[in-house]
Structure 1
Amino acid sequence: MSAAIQGQAPYYFVPGPSRHPIMAAIGLFFVILGAGQWVNGSDWGAWSVLFGLVWWAFVLQQWFREAISESEKGLYGHRVDLSFRWSMSWFIFSEVMFFGAFFGALYWLRQHSVPNLGGLENALLWPDFKAVWPSMAAGATASPAGVVEPFTTMGPFWLPTINTALLLTSGVTLTIAHHALRENHRGKTIAFMWLTVLLGATFLGVQGYEYYHAYTDLNLKLSSGAFGSTFFMLTGFHGFHVLVGMLMLLFITIRIMKGHFTPDRHFGFEGAAWYWHFVDVVWLGLYIVVYWF
Structure 2
Amino acid sequence: MNRFPTLLHREWMQHRRGWLLLAVIPAVLALLAVPFGQIRIEGFVGAPMLAAIAITIYLMALLALALAAMLIQAPGMARRDQQDRSIEFWLSLPTSHWQSVSATLLMHLLLMPLLVLAISVLAAQLIAPLLVVNVLGVQALGEFTATEWVIFSAAGVLRQLLGLLFAVLWLSPLIMLAMAASAWLKGWGVPALVAGLVILGLLLQQLTGHTLVWQVLGFWWAQAKVAALPLLRGGIPFESLAGSDAAMGWFRDWLLHDTAQLLRDAVHPGMAGGLLVAAGGFVLLIWRRSRPGN
Query: What's the TM-score, normalizing by structure 2?
Result: 0.29
Q: RCO greater where, 1 or 2, for CA within 8 Å and sep 6 or more?
A: 2
Larger gyration radius, structure 1 or structure 2: 1
- Richer in helix (by share): 2
